[in-house]
Amino acid sequence: MLPLRYPTLWRTLSAVLLGAVLVAAVLPTFWFDSQFEALSWFENADKWLHGITFAALAVWFAGLFPTSAYWRIAIGLSAFGLIVEGCQLSVGYRMADWIDIGANTAGIIAGLAAAAAGLGGWGLLVEDRCTRRNPH
Residue-by-residue pLDDT tens, the chain, 136 positions: 999 999 999 999 999 999 999 999 998 876 555 544 555 555 677 889 999 999 999 999 999 999 999 999 999 999 999 999 999 999 887 888 899 999 999 999 999 999 999 999 999 999 999 988 545 4
- Reported pTM: 0.89
Is residue 3 situated within a structural domain? no
Q: Which domain holds residue 19?
A: 15-131
Q: What is the pLDDT of residue 28?
A: 83
Is residue 66 situated within a structural domain? yes
* Count of structural domains within the chain: 1
Is residue 136 situated within a structural domain? no
**DSSP of 11-60, one letter per residue?**
HHHHHHHHHHHHHHHHS--GGGSSS--TTTTSTTHHHHHHHHHHHHHHHH
